[in-house]
Structure 1
Amino acid sequence: MSKKYSVDLYYLWWLIIGCVGITLIYLLSPILTPFLLAAVIAYICNPLVTHMAVRKIPRTMGTILVMLLLLSLSAALVLIMVPLFEKEASRLVIKIPAYLEMLGGGVIPWLESHLGVNLNPDIDMLKHAMTEHWQSAGGVAAKILPSLTSGGIAVVEFLMNLLLVPVVLFYMLRDWELLIQQIDGMIPRYWYKQVSQLTRETDRILAQFLRGQLSVILLMSICYITGLWLAGLEFALPIGLLAGILVFVPYLGMIVGLMLATFAAMMQFHEWGCVIPVWVVFAIGQLLEGMVITPWLVGDRVGLHPVVVIFSLLAFGQLFGFFGILLALPVSAVLLVWLRHIRQQYLESNLYN
């Protein structure tokens, strides 16, 4: 067999493997979610377990300690954040009548005088209706929920996946090195050099992306919460936290946070002059994220285009549900590395030339 046909057959095998892999992912997507999420968490936490193993702590014990640490952090976050959000929600409910008064006395007259929009809402009726509906929300939900069969099944499926994640995570963390050795031993020796190079680059990019993105979310949440608190905004905590968490989608965190903060500031201060510090906070935050924090912690090597990010979130959300949104960006970063290698191989192939 000539060298030309040998190389073409080599690429054909890679194409077949890729098609089979994509088909399996599509067919098994309903059950793959907890395994993929556990694999991502295990990848992030494996260096800590490995460090413990170097310190003569067995991997089983190290895995248990790391999982207890993750559980403690999650519980602490819930115990801290839930009361704060409950407090902010209660304050919002108390202020709703005042907001409606401002709507009727300031915003609607301004719209009518400047834009010619004729609005005549009954503010008292709105306040009365909102109060009644808020008090009876629990009873309405209790009547509606039994009829939502499909929604109940989805909730059960979500909880089952959530309970399966720690089980899969334990075995993946404990046997991570063994799994890597077994996969390494199954790679055909003819492909071993190229696969090893691809794996090393994927590992470098994924580690840089995941750990860097988590750091960006943490720092931006702190920046937004602190800035909005200094600006005197009452709802600085929930708005700043939401804006910080959404920074993994380009511009989404800034846009959503800016809209919510502007609305909250107008309802609180009743004048545009007091909204300017809120805008300054988001402007500074966007500059810090784009020019300092993200290039420093994540770098430019991942190179996910905003359109690719949005498509990845929608596609993975469609395939894997809520967990798919969490998995979209790290998996896309890995696929980007592979696509770069495929493109390079294609440009050097006989088919292209």
Structure 2
Amino acid sequence: MAVADPDSPDASSLWMKLPVHEVLLLVGGLLMLLVLLYTMEAPRSGSFLSPPLVAIAGALLLWPVHNNAAARALLLSGGVLLFIWAITRTSTILIPFVAVYLLAYLLHPIVTRLDRKYRIPRWVSSMVVTTLVVGLFITTVVIIAPNIVEQIDRLSRQTLGALEALRGWLATSPVVAELEGAGVIERETLIRELTDFVQQQTRRLPSAAEEVLASVGSVLGIITVLALIPVILFYTLKDYPSIRDSLVGLFPTTNGRRDYIVEAGSIVGNYLRGQLLIGLISAVNVAVALALFGVPFWLLIALLTGVLNFVPRLGAIVSMVLGGCVALVFGGWMDALIVLIVILAQQLLEQSVLTPKILSYQMGLHPVLIVFALLAFGTFMGVFGLLIAVPATAILVTIYRAWREELTLELNEYGASRR
């Protein structure tokens, strides 16, 4: 039977030893944390209370007892909540900066290689890379974007036309009459629901275009953002090492080091760069092949293949199914067969040549773990979860390995001290 140490203080004795004013301050800090949660959850226009004011008041209230562990926990909790609230409120402003930093993160090796191998000053290489990115963006908008919009508009209208033809077939088909006679379906109900659906979609097409134009914002805002992005990208590329080191310094250390952050960043960076390049090659190959065979909506099918290439294994299957269905409905069985053959050939090329050459590094993830990560992230986060499943899993595995190595070191030291 274990005997309690009389010298070890318990929680009740610690609270009893605290002065009354410190207890009151801690209770007040807890109440301010609850008020902070309330103001974040139910904001009211015109209200004097706001999360920053509540957070400041709570910090001032707890500052006299900030050396207390409970006070530090309340301050940390409030700080995290306020940070999340600020990120949520400023998400519209932060999106361009986050996108530019991600782009600089992907292009940083090119600038570094030009600087180290060819002795080009970093500001010059950053200017060259920024100019190339802006030129590629303008070319995409001028040449490819109109074709994409035209094919999307044609696909939507042909889809509505196919639904109209399906409604006429339902009204005259003897097969449907036999099924109705057997009590399997009700012809009138099915036709009425299909008619309502077609009418809703027909009214939605013009309104969808108006919503897109309204969501884009004013022309002045668009010009301002487009003018700022190249400038932000240039300075981010030029000063990327110092910006990266500052961000890495925000993460906690493991045994006094942050190697796990560097390793995880390297894994994710290599994965994203490789997948972007492979996706671009896949989209170009599929687009050229389908255009040569005259498959309808070849550009949309190629873009779908390139985007879904970010989802390992499952992306190719979804591309073949969706692309084959589009080609079958708006072309014929021969077009659908061509789509399946082209995407399958692209997958064979990717697995045998592109992936070994471009993704020459080892992700260090077992195939079963990758499939599980895809299913888990897809269940909780949808399509976005499928896109980030593999890099996020790589980061988690890297952090776990760093923690396990640190735990192993601590256990070894403990075992040596016990001898």
The answer to whether the 8 A contact 2:305-2:316 is kept is yes
Sort the Cα spacing of 1:241 and 1:169 in 2 relative to 1 into closer, same or farther, 3 A.
same
- 1:46 matched to 2:108: yes
Moved more, 114-123 or 239-248: 114-123
Moved more, 105-114 or 293-302: 105-114
The answer to whether the 8 A contact 2:127-2:234 is kept is yes
The answer to whether the 8 A contact 1:33-1:161 is kept is no
Q: Specify which of 72, 79, 82 is matched with residue 145 of structure 2.
A: 82
Residue aligned with 1:233, SS: coil
Sort the Cα spacing of 1:72 and 1:315 in 2 relative to 1 into closer, same or farther, 3 A.
farther
Sort the Cα spacing of 1:128 and 1:34 in 2 relative to 1 into closer, same or farther, 3 A.
closer
Q: Specify which of 296, 300, 319 is matched with residue 238 of structure 1.
A: 300
- 1:339 matched to 2:404: no
For the residues of structure 1 that align with 2:290 and 2:330, how far apart are their CA atoms? 13
The answer to whether the 8 A contact 1:104-1:123 is kept is no
Residue aligned with 1:248, SS: coil
1:159-238 → structure 2 map (5 Å cutoff): 166=230, 168-179=232-243, 191=255, 194-196=257-259, 198=260, 201-202=263-264, 204-229=266-291, 232-238=294-300
For the residues of structure 1 that align with 2:175 and 2:377, how far apart are their CA atoms? 40
Residue aligned with 1:211, SS: helix
Unmatched runs of 5 consecutive residues or more in structure 2: 1-72
Tell me the amino acid that sits aligned with residue 261 of structure 1. Answer: G
Q: Quote the residue 1:305 is aligned against.
A: 370
For the residues of structure 1 that align with 2:248 and 2:319, how far apart are their CA atoms? 45
The answer to whether the 8 A contact 1:242-1:253 is kept is no
Q: Specify which of 133, 138, 143 is matched with residue 203 of structure 2.
A: 133
Tell me the amino acid that sits aligned with residue 176 of structure 1. Answer: Y
Sort the Cα spacing of 1:60 and 1:329 in 2 relative to 1 into closer, same or farther, 3 A.
farther
Give the number of equivalent residue pairs.
Answer: 320
CA-CA distance at 1:217 after TM superposition = 0.7
Tell me the amino acid that sits aligned with residue 206 of structure 2. Answer: A
1:1-353 → structure 2 map (5 Å cutoff): 23=80, 26=84, 29-30=87-88, 31=91, 33-54=95-116, 55-92=118-155, 95-96=158-159, 99-100=162-163, 102-104=165-167, 109=173, 112=176, 117-119=185-187, 121=191, 129=199, 133=203, 137-138=206-207, 166=230, 168-179=232-243, 191=255, 194-196=257-259, 198=260, 201-202=263-264, 204-229=266-291, 232-270=294-332, 272=333, 275-290=336-351, 292-298=353-359, 299-303=361-365, 305-309=370-374, 330=391, 333-347=394-408, 349-350=410-411
Highest relative contact order (Cα 8 Å, sep 6+), 1 or 2?
A: 1
CA-CA distance at 1:256 after TM superposition = 3.9
TM-score relative to the length of structure 1: 0.65
CA-CA distance at 1:241 after TM superposition = 1.0
Sort the Cα spacing of 1:265 and 1:335 in 2 relative to 1 into closer, same or farther, 3 A.
same
CA-CA distance at 1:74 after TM superposition = 1.2
Tell me the amino acid that sits aligned with residue 176 of structure 2. Answer: E
The answer to whether the 8 A contact 2:263-2:398 is kept is yes
CA-CA distance at 1:334 after TM superposition = 3.5
The answer to whether the 8 A contact 1:231-1:278 is kept is no
CA-CA distance at 1:296 after TM superposition = 4.0
Deviations 1:232-262 (A, max 9, x none): 4211111121121121123453344334323
RMSD after superposition: 5.2
Deviations 1:298-336 (A, max 9, x none): 254253724434655787899xxx8x9977765554443
Unmatched runs of 5 consecutive residues or more in structure 1: 1-15
Q: Matched residues, percent identical?
A: 27
Sort the Cα spacing of 1:249 and 1:310 in 2 relative to 1 into closer, same or farther, 3 A.
farther
Sort the Cα spacing of 1:185 and 1:251 in 2 relative to 1 into closer, same or farther, 3 A.
closer
Deviations 1:12-40 (A, max 9, x none): xxxx9xx99x9587555435655543333
CA-CA distance at 1:51 after TM superposition = 3.8
Larger Cα Rg: Structure 1 or Structure 2? 2
The answer to whether the 8 A contact 2:311-2:387 is kept is no
The answer to whether the 8 A contact 2:296-2:331 is kept is no
